[in-house]
Amino acid sequence: MPEPLTIACSVVGLVTATGNLIPALYTMGSTIKNAARLAQDVSSELATTTLILEQLSSYINGVAKAAITELNLITVEQLTATLTDAR
């Protein structure tokens, strides 16, 4: 038969482990809860970036044409700021 001190130490160990596990489970739950929204945000950003790069590629490759007056409206700095999300 196990000694009372051994049982008490085991119980204290289990309580300590549980106390350490609860914050980790809470963090994991919060992360999983927000994962769908984060995935949607990333997907949206990738779709937008893809459209921008496809349009830019068509201009660079000469597939699409723009009037000279339109080309002068966009500067390299503005394009860089758009692609890097800088303000």
Q: What pLDDT, in 10s, does the model give residues 9-27?
A: 887 787 888 788 888 888 8
Q: Are 57 and 83 in contact (CB under 8 A)?
A: no
Torsion angle (degrees, nearest 10) of CA 60, 68, 45, 78: 110
Integer Cα distance of 49 and 53 in angstroms: 6
pLDDT band (50, 70, 90) for residue 87: low
Instruction: Indicate the number of domains in the chain.
Output: 1
Q: What pLDDT, in 10s, does the model give residues 38-85?
A: 888 888 888 888 887 888 788 777 777 777 777 677 777 777 777 777
Which residue from 57, 53, 55 is spatially nearest to 45, judged by alpha carbons? 53
pTM greater than 0.85 (yes/no): no
What is the residue range of 46's domain? 4-84
